Amino acid sequence: MPDAKNQRQRARVRMSLPVRVRQIYPPRDAVEVSVTLDVSRNGILFRSADFYLLHSTVWVTMNYSAKETAPDSEFPATVVRIVKNPEGLYDVALQFHSSRADRVEPVVRGAGPSAITSSERRNKNRVRTAMSIRVRAGDMVEESITVNVSRTGVLFRSSRQYAVGQAVWMVMPYQPGEELSEVAARVVRTVVIDVGRLVALHFGENTTDSR
C-alpha cells in the first residue's frame, strides 16, 4: 500500500498559476494572492508569508486575475499540510473538498512484466484542469480552454484543424492584455469530437518561429 508521501506525489504537475486564497473566521478573515508551486487533481501547493491553521477551510480561486470584472468562481478546500521553509515562508498544501473520495488505488501487477501502452504513457501525471490558453500557428491564432495538463504537454479544445507534427507557439495561462510569453510546442495528436476537436501539444519541440 502506498504511503502518504507517495500519494501526495502522484499526478503532480509543477505549475505556476495565480491563485487567490480566502480564509474565513475562525481562525481569521484574510485574503491573499499567490502563485502555485504544483497542482494535482486533488489540490494545490502554494507559498505564503501567512500561517494557515491545519485542517481549516479556505476558499480558492484558480487562475485568478485582478483585471476580471465578473465575479470570481470560488471553491472550498482544506489545509492538509503546512511546512515552514528556510526562508521563513510557509508551503501550504490544500485539498479540494470535491476530491475527498478521489483516492489513489494501488495498481496490482501480474507476475510477469507487462508492456506500457501508448495510452498509459499519455495518461501519466496528467491533471484535469480548465485554464485559458492561446495557441499560434503562423498567423493563425486561437484562444481556448485546456482539458488536461502534464509536465510535458497539454490537451486543449479547438475549433481549428491542426496537422500532427505542426509547430505552434502557446501561452498558458493566457490573460488578454498581458505581455505574451510564448512557449514552443508541437502537435502530437488530434481527436475529432462532437463539437470541434481535441489537440495534444508537446512542449519545447520548436527551434524557429513559423511567422
pLDDT per residue as tens digits for the range 123-180: 445 677 777 889 999 999 999 988 888 878 899 999 899 999 999 999 887 877 777 7
* Average confidence score pLDDT of the chain: 77
Whether 79 maps to a domain, the answer reads: yes
52-68 per-position pLDDT tens digit: 999 888 998 887 877 76
- Res 8 pLDDT > 60: no
Same domain, 194 and 155: yes
pLDDT band at 206 (very low <50, low <70, confident <90, very high): low
- Res 120 pLDDT > 50: no
3-state percent helix, strand, coil for the chain, nearest multiple of 5? 5, 45, 50
- Res 115 pLDDT > 60: no
- Structural domain count, the chain: 2
Enclosing domain of residue 29: 4-99
Q: Indicate which CATH number applies to the domain containing 169.
A: 2.40.10.220
In the chain, what's the furthest Cα-to-Cα distance?
A: 57
Same domain, 95 and 13: yes
Same domain, 80 and 31: yes
Same domain, 132 and 75: no
Whether 112 maps to a domain, the answer reads: no
Share of residues in the chain with pLDDT > 90 (%):
34
173-186 per-position pLDDT tens digit: 787 777 778 889 99
pLDDT band at 26 (very low <50, low <70, confident <90, very high): low
Q: Are the C-beta atoms of residues 144 and 157 closer than 8 Å to each other?
A: yes
Higher-scoring residue by pLDDT: 177, 84: 84
Whether this prediction's pTM lies above 0.75 is answered by no
